[in-house]
Every structure is written in C-alpha cells, then in structure tokens.
Amino acid sequence: MFCKSILKNRAFTSSANRFLVQGANRQFGAMDLINYDLFDHKFTNDMEFRSSFDKLKCFRVLDEEGNVINKDYEGSIDDQTLQKMFKTMVMMNEADVVFNQAQRQSRISFYMTQLGEEAAGVGSAAGIKDHDLIFPQYREAGAFLWRGFSIQQMAHQLTGNVHDFGKGRQMPVHYGSNKHNIVTVSSPLCTQVPQASGAGYQFRISGQDRIAVTYFGEGAASEGDFHSALNFAATLRAQTMFFCRNNMYAISTPIDDQYAGDGIAVRGIAYGMPTIRVDGNDIFAIYNACKKGREMIIKEKRPVLIEAISYRVGDHSTSDFSQRYRDEKEMLKWKELLSKFKSPIHRLENYLLKRGLVKPEDSKQYRLEALNQVRDALKNANDQKKPSIDDMFNDVYDTVMPHLEDQRKQLKEHLKKYGEKYNLDTFQGGNAFANS
Amino acid sequence: MQQDMENFDFSDKLNVKELKLKNPQNLQKMNLCATIADALDIALKTDPSSVIFGEDVKFGGVFRCTQGLNEKYGTDRVFNTPLSEQGIAGFAIGLASSGANAIAEIQFADYIFPAFDQIVNEAAKYRYRSGNEFDCGKLTFRSPSGAVGHGALYHSQSPEAYFAHTPGLITVVPRSPVQAKGLLLSSIRNNNPVLFFEPKILYRIAEEEVPVEDYEIPLMKAEVLKEGTDLTIISWGTQLRQVRMAVAMAEKEFDVSCEIIDLRTIFPYDEETVLQSVKKTGKCIVTHEAPISGGFGAELAAKIQEKCFLHLEAPVRRVCGYDTPFPLVFETFYLPDRFKILEAIKETVKY
Ligand SMILES: Cc1ncc(C[n+]2csc(CCOP(=O)(O)OP(=O)(O)O)c2C)c(N)n1
C-alpha cells in the first residue's frame, strides 16, 4: 500500500532510480521494488583494473575568511538562525576551555573537547529537525547545545551528580536526553551507527516525517559495524543520515594509517547512497548539506552520507597528550594544508561582521557571558550530591530482580558495619541507605 | 583505591628458582608498563618472526606499553592498524597461521567484544577443526583490563571468564611487573592462542626490581604468595592487592592464618595447587572484580566442592563485583574491596 502511494507520487524519478519497478509476481527488494540496474551488467573488451577516480571535492560556501564564494547559498540561512549558530559555537568553545581546565584541576575526571570542530555539531543539528533522533559519538556536544540541552545539564553529567540524567553511571561527556531526542553516548566506537540504520528503517515503515542521524569519526568508520550499518540502511531503505566527522586523527592515528581509499565519502557511494563531502569548518556548507540531505531522505526513502572534513585541534581527550605524535616541528610541514581549516567560529564571525549581524564588541560580550555561565554551572554542579546508592542496582533490568535485591541488601549490611570507610555523605541519602 | 594501595608494601621476594635466572643480581626498577614494553622488546629481538600491532601502537600505545619499539624495529613489525578489533583479531590469526608470531593489542579489554567471534569461533578452534592441519598458536592478545577508579562501564571490565569458557584459549592475568614480564614472554612463546589481560591501574603504580634478562614464568601454574593454615584465598591481578591488605588487617585483628594463591593462568588453571591448599586449610574464599554470577570464581567454587567436599569446613565464599554494569560514581561500592574481603574472612573462619 505504502510503496504504491510513493510510486504514484513519482518519488523515484531521479536518474539513480530509473530502473526501479514494482515486482509483478515476485516481491523482492526493499519496499518490494526490483532494482533491475543491479542485475544488468555490461561487457567490455578492455582489461582494466580500477583503483581510483577523481577525488571528491569538499562543498563549501564560505572561504577561510568568511566571504561567501557561492552566491546561491547567500541567503540560505536566516539572520536569527545565523546569530544562534554563532552564539552556540561560542558557548561550546568557552565550555570546552573551562571544562578541559576543570579536568586538570580534578574537578571532573575526564573531558573531550570539540575545538575546531564546533561547526559539525551545531551546523548539522540546525540543518535537521529537532524531532529527528540523533545517535551521537562523543564529539558532538554542539548538537546537544543547539537543541537546548543546557550547559548546566552538561555540568551535572560531567560531575556525575544527582541531577545527571545518566545517574552518574557513565564517564564524563556521555550525555543523553530523551527529551532532546539524543540517544545517550556510548564509549564502544561505532556501535551507534547500525542502530541509526534500524531507527531510520522504523521511521520509514511507520510513515514518519522523521530521520535518524548518526555521527562518527573517520576512525570509528573502520569498524565492522560501520560497513553493516551502511549496507543495511541502503538495502533496507532506512531514513538515516550518516554524518562523518573526518578530523584526520583517531587519537594518534592519522588518516593514512586509517584508510587508503578516498576517505569515508566514497564508501557511501559504494554502498549505494547519495553522498557529499563538505568543508567541515564551513557552517553554511554543513547546514545546507544536512538540510538538502534530509529532504532527499524523506522524499526518496533512502539514506544519505555526509563527510565533513575538519581537523582535531585539541588533544583527543584529557588522557591524551597530542604533542607526542604531532609536535610543532612536525606540524609546520602541514601548515599550508591546515590553513584551509581555519576555525569555523572565526569564519562565521567574519561573515556576520561583514553583514553587520554582529558588532566587533558583541563577540567579546558573548564570550564573557558564556564563560560566566559555564563557570557558574560547574560550580553549582560540583556542589551537588552524588546520586543515590540505590541507583547502582536500578535499571539493570526494568525492575530490580531478586538477585540484585539480594546484593543490594548485602551492600547495606556491609555499610552498616563499615560505613565510615566510604564517603557516604557525598551520596544522596547515603547514610540512610546504609542504615535502612 | 589508588591511594590505599600506594601506602602498602606489595613487594614480592624474587623467585630465582622459578624464573631460572642466570643473573639474579642484574635488576632494574621498572613499573608494570615498562616491563610489558621490555618483554615485547625481547620478543621482537629474539624472534624475528614476531610482529606487534593494534590501535595507536606505532607511537607507543595509549598506555605507552609499546613505546620505542617502532623506532627500533620498524613499521613492518610494529604498526598501527585501522580502528577495528575484529579486523585486528582476524588479521592476527592470519599472521599466526602463516608463520608470524602475532602479538596484537586490543586498546581496552572492554573493546574486545567486536573481536569475540574471531577469537572464540576462529582462534580457539583453528587447530581442532582442521585436525591439527592448521593452527594459530603463535598468537597473543594483550589488553588492559580492570578497575581504574574512573573508568565506568567501558574502561573497567574484567572479561576473563568469557574467554575461560572457551576451549582452546589460554587466559592469563599478571599481578606485578616481575610476573608480567615472565608471563608475557611465556604467553608469546606458547603454542596456543593466549589472552593476556593487564591490570591497567597497576601500569604506573606497581613498581619493583625486575630482572633485566630474558626469563619466563610457566603458564598453567599458580603461585602460593603467602602460606597459611586456616583459610585459602584465591585471586588474580589487581584484586590480590585487596586480598593482601585484607589479610594484613585480619591477621592483625584476630587469630587467623591465611594462605594466598595467585591463580595467574585463569584457564586452564593449576588445579593441583588450588586443591592441595584447600584440602590443607578446609576453608576457601575466591575473589575477583568481575560480576559474581558466572564469573570464574563460580568455576573454582564448583571444582573445589567437587574435589574437596570432605575437607571443607565452610562453604566456599565468593567476594566479587555485583551483577550490574561497572558504574562510575559507585565504583567504591561496586568493588569487592578489602573490607568486604575482611568481613568474608571473619565469617568464613567463624563458620
Ligand atoms: C570499539 C572501540 N575501540 C577502541 C576505542 C578507543 N578509542 C576511543 S576514541 C578512539 C579514536 C576514535 O577516533 P575517531 O572515530 O576518528 O573520532 P575522533 O576522536 O577523532 O573524533 C579510540 C581508538 C573505543 N572507544 N571503542
């Protein structure tokens, strides 16, 4: 029923789909559409091994100094959205600096910045819809901020206090929020990507105007899960957007140890989905690619892949010291190459200045406001209690099973005798737990 | 946790006989991380077929256990792989089955699961299914495991029981730098696939005088760390530190004499040493960080009751992690720490 109505709507008139025909007697292929193109082969007398084709170029709208070089997209983002983008990126940047420092001062146990990659999270979240379900990696806090997940909420998660939605169970930066349609971050790499294929499939078969968007690094894209995810989404026609942040490094591993082909984008094409490579430091390019990509996903009922090329400016995490594998001397060699990847904030700011949408003094003001807000949030978060000890045993299953009830009792018995050996006070109702 | 351990003396007497040392005077102070690097260096030096690889291995690894090796032996032998654990495992099996001595690193034991199929269905069964036509015995997986104080769900797990449950694999966990060097060299030179789980919290804080020479410590052999008469405590890895602290408290507090056994090879393990000890003491505690249900302590407890039933004067007691994922802020409650062990000692002795 569903697929017939789509055919009638002539959704499949794009050239890539011209061979799609509805099966007559047999029904096979996703949506019961036979893709004759795949069965049909042409022949040649030339023995030619192909190993390359033209390298995919990065789509960009703004140049390094924030000039619009592609006038078609000049008015593609309204002024209010542009201002919100700028403020959100500034906020993200200040938060990164403060939280990173806080880890050095042992106020939080771990942190990961998005320095230099602010446009990816913010621009993509702006280009899709707020009810689209995001499956993040960990360097997309900008998308959280864009959707209204507050700095305070971040600070609660980073300190693992009683207000953390994740109940203090996961390491810092493992944010997640049902209300904001962002699935909780998980440390094992790339596991979220095939999950986004499944969710995108569900959105199609239930007829929703909704997509699943998943983020991942070019390193994570080496995992088997990545390949399954793309193949599943393409063959099963999932409403899924794959957003790769290619920042040229996976911890110490540079991209030439990660792949020998043309990056990640080429894999999208290989698996049969519309794909674009964008300048990851150009928020105009990211926003427009995501907006257009989303339209295609909904209209054509197929996944899309976007590869955003950027550079990881900071350390991988607070556990990393990147000068070990890219010291200053080494980086001089890359100077020219990296000059193409000027801070996305700087680029948008220059554009906004030229348009008069921000004034020179605004930027300083935004930064100051953001800094104060982040500091207050962190202070407030640090003052809160840790979650209730009960929460160690909750949520393993939908209810606390008898064996866990038993273990909880054992812990209480233990704390009755040895309570003073643990910092019970720092936990919400900690003493009461031990004495109940 | 780290602080408690820093204030306690965990040093062992050098077992010159077991290590078959030629130069027992030639020692160097090293931490666990440095001894791993040292053992790997010796493996590369003594066996030209050996290769070392994994994520970020080339620059020295995120824990610095392969530091300096790439510079010394070149990128063909010490190299980065793309980021894929199933790739690393399959690739390692291919290397080992075709003439190399493959030493693969999985960056964290928590991330070994994408490689589970290759390890459990392939590496473990390579020899058996081919009628010994093929094997991948020259294969070692090293991986950091266990609690670190802030690792939460995915940087803390101790997955040894999953692998101990698989016929064809050897699973090893060292407790100290001296042990790590000898056990790792044995693992690398053993003709079966070995999983070598390194207690990552000890990388920096466990430091001792380590023999400079090339030496091995036999696999499948437990060690009695301390002799005692009333109670046997069996453990491995970091957890032995909790055991030693608990035993020190118990022996100071009341009249008890505990025997401590380091299992070292989790499977196939040294039944003889374990059973002999329990037959002598009549009481036993098994303790590990991993969740209690289905953990390797369960296998030991079952074996002990089967083989020592008439000698037992108390139920075999397990002091282990709870059956929950490993939680960040609740780590101190989750872990089977020295106070839980102390209490178990009291109850078992009193039983
Ligand atoms: C399955 C798995 N293997 C290894 C790791 C350890 N690890 C965490 S982040 C990372 C690098 C990821 O790089 P990339 O995907 O490119 O993202 P980036 O950090 O550059 O944003 C590694 C190896 C992990 N978390 N999960």
pLDDT digits (tens, 9 = 90+) for B227-263: 999 999 999 999 999 999 999 999 999 999 999 999 9
CATH number of the domain within which B313 lies: 3.40.50.920
Ligand 1 atom 12: the closest Cα is on which residue? Answer: A250
Q: How many domains does chain B have?
A: 2
- Inter-chain CB pairs, A–B, below 8 Å: 125
Is position B217 within any domain?
no
Binning pLDDT at 50, 70 and 90, where does residue A53 land? confident
Q: What's the topology of domain A71-382?
A: Rossmann fold (3.40.50)
Residues 6+ apart with CB under 8 A from A201: A232, A233, A236, A237, A238, A239, A240
At B13-41, the pLDDT tens digits run 999 999 999 999 999 999 999 999 999 99
pLDDT band at A13 (very low <50, low <70, confident <90, very high): very low
Q: Is the confidence at residue A18, as pLDDT, over 60?
A: no
Shared domain for B6 and B54, answered yes or no, is yes
Examine the residue annotation and report whether B347 is marked as an active-site residue of this protein: no
Pairing mode, if any, of strands B223-226 and B258-262? antiparallel
Is the domain of B130 the same as that of B251?
no
Residue B216 maps to a domain: no
Quickly list H helices, chain B: 2-6, 16-19, 32-46, 69-73, 85-97, 116, 126-129, 160-164, 177-189, 202-205, 239-253, 271-281, 296-308, 331-334, 338-350
- Whole-angstrom Cα distance, residue A137 to residue B336? 32
Does position B194 have pLDDT exceeding 80, yes or no? yes
Q: Are residues B207 and B227 in the same domain?
A: no
Residue B218 in any domain: the answer is no
Q: Label residue A51 by pLDDT band (50, 70, 90).
A: confident
pLDDT at A6: 37
Interface mutation vs chain B, best among A159, A192, A252, A394, most B CBs within 10 Å: A252
- Grade residue B277 by pLDDT with cuts at 50, 70 and 90: very high
Catalytic annotation present for B253: no
Query: Looking at the structure, do residues B65 and B200 belong to the same domain, yes or no?
Result: yes
Q: What's the pLDDT score for residue A3? A: 40
Using the predicted structure, report yes or no on whether residue A270 has a pLDDT greater than 80.
Answer: yes
> How do residues A90-129 score in pLDDT, each as one tens digit?
999 999 999 999 999 999 999 999 999 999 999 999 999 9
Does residue B336 sit within a domain? Answer: yes
Read off the pLDDT of each residue in A179-196 and give the average, rounded to a whole number: 98
Q: What is the DSSP annotation of A83-102?
A: HHHHHHHHHHHHHHHHHHHH
Indicate whether B263 and B205 sit together in one domain: no
Domain locations in chain A?
A: 71-382, 389-435
Within 10 Å of residue B12's Cβ, how many Cβ atoms? 15
Residues B296 and B147 in one domain: no
DSSP-assigned letters across all residues of A378-426:
HHHHHHSPBPPGGGGTTTSSSS--HHHHHHHHHHHHHHHHHGGGTTGGG
Distance CA(A330)–CA(B296), nearest Å, equals 48
Q: Residue ranges of the alpha helices (H) in A62-150?
A: 79-104, 118-127, 141-146
| pLDDT, tens only, B84-116 | 999 999 999 999 999 999 999 999 999 999 999
Q: Are residues B319 and B248 in the same domain?
A: yes
Residue range B108-123, pLDDT digits in tens:
999 999 999 999 999 9
Name every residue whose Cβ is closer than 8 Å to that of residue A90 and which is 6 or more positions away in sequence: A345, A363, A366, A367, A370
Lowest mean pLDDT among A64-73, B93-102, B323-332: A64-73
Q: Residue B124 has which token pair?
A: 């473990």
A9 pLDDT more than 70: no
Q: Is residue B160 part of a domain?
A: yes
When scoring A103, A109, A169 by the number of chain B Cβ atoms within 10 A, the one with the most, hence best to mutate, is: A169
**Residues in the ligand 1 pocket, defined by CB under 6 Å:** A 139, 187-189, 216-220, 245, 247, 249-251, 312, 316; B 55, 83, 85, 107, 111, 114
Which has more confidence, A336 or A41? A41
Pick the atom of ligand 1 nearest to A217's CA: 15
Range with lowest mean pLDDT among A30-34, B72-76, B160-164, B194-198: A30-34
Q: Is the pLDDT of residue A16 over 90?
A: no
| Residue B70: domain span | 2-211
Name which of B83, B151, B323 is nearest A407 (Cβ-Cβ). Answer: B323
Question: Cα–Cα distance between A227 and A240 in angstroms, integer?
Answer: 14
Is B54 within a domain? yes
CA distance B297 to A403: 17
Same domain, B250 and B313: yes
| Residues B129 and B249 placed together within one structural domain of the fold | no
Which CATH number is B113's domain given? 3.40.50.970
Of A217, A235, A213, the residue nearest A226 (C-alpha): A217
Does residue B344 sit in the same domain as residue B239? yes
pLDDT at A35: 84
Average of per-residue pLDDT values in chain A: 93
State yes or no: pLDDT of B172 exceeds 90: yes
